[in-house]
């Protein structure tokens, strides 16, 4: 089921289930909102009466076209982070369209206000309910999930601030542990963003810095159906890891710590 979803996903941060749907709704809303807002704004620019001179339609058209161009650019390799980075023109146009009045805009404004309040309450409850584990780290005390606390505690006990360390899947542990990434890349990707030359450079940099620990995600072991096998370039890195490191620990979320062979 997960593999099938990945083949058609839109770069969402999780697999949609009833449990994850409330959290994913904010991402889905942005995905749907942007093309709708740009279409409505373009239609208004074309059909709006010219005598409404108090509206600067040239500015609205320019903002709409810029936002649409940014959206089309990230749509070639879409994920939620890229969409969020180019969403500001759409957010501005959404607020502007709702400010123009009318019965539909009145109900839409109420709906958005209610949605924001519900989302804020959900986020607050979720953070307190899920991120209830407290860990003491070089950067200070933090509240996090049980899976993250497990990794943070292990790395805190096996490293010291200033050490080299590489987190292959996502650069989320360097700052709280005061560890340094010696690799040019922030993370390894399953798609064509991680080019073969970048993989070779990463291997050289890991070897040159004699990095003791690598946090590896098993999802990086094989191609993602969404991108296809032709865009998967991580096999040399995976082979380097197997030849020069050994499995030191596994965590509840299936992430693995690999330790350099002596």
Q: What is the pLDDT of residue 107?
A: 73
Q: What is the pLDDT of residue 198?
A: 94
Q: What is the pLDDT of residue 145?
A: 84
Q: What is the pLDDT of residue 5?
A: 42
Q: Which residue has the tokens 């999780």?
A: 14
Mean pLDDT by 10 residues, the chain (262 residues): 45 72 81 93 80 73 93 86 92 85 68 78 73 85 87 94 93 92 90 90 94 93 83 93 94 93 86
Distance CA 187, CA 168 (A): 5
Distance CA 214, CA 155 (A): 10
Distance CA 90, CA 34 (A): 5
Distance CA 98, CA 52 (A): 17
Q: What is the pLDDT of residue 87?
A: 93
Phi, psi of 169 (to 5 degrees): -85, -35
Axis crossing angle, helix 88-98 with helix 21-47, rounded to the nearest 10: 70
Q: What is the pLDDT of residue 101?
A: 66
Q: What is the pLDDT of residue 49?
A: 64
Length of the chain: 262
């Amino acid at each position: 089921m997960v593999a099938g979803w990945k083949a058609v996903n839109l770069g969402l941060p999780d697999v949609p289930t009833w449990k994850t749907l409330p959290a994913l709704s904010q991402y889905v809303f942005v995905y749907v909102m942007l093309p709708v807002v740009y279409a409505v704004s373009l239609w208004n620019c074309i059909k709006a009466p010219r005598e409404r001179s108090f509206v600067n339609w040239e500015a609205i058209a320019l903002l709409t076209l810029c936002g649409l161009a940014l959206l089309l650019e990230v749509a070639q390799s879409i994920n939620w982070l890229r969409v969020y980075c180019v969403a500001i023109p759409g957010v501005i146009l959404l607020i502007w369209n709702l400010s123009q009045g009318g019965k539909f805009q009145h109900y839409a404004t109420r709906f958005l206000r209610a949605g924001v309040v519900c989302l804020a309450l959900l986020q607050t409850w979720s953070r307190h309910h899920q991120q209830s584990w407290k860990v003491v780290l070089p950067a200070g005390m933090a509240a996090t999930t049980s899976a993250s606390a497990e990794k943070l505690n292990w790395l805190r006990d096996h490293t010291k601030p200033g050490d080299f360390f590489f987190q292959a899947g996502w650069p989320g542990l360097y700052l709280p542990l005061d560890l340094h990434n010696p690799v040019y890349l922030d993370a390894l990707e399953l798609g064509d963003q991680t080019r073969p030359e970048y993989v070779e450079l990463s291997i050289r940099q890991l070897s040159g810095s004699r990095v003791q620990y690598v946090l590896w995600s098993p999802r990086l072991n094989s191609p993602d159906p969404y991108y296809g096998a032709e865009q998967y370039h991580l096999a040399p890195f995976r082979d380097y890891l197997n030849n020069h490191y050994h499995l030191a620990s596994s965590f509840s979320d299936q992430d693995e710590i690999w330790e350099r062979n002596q």
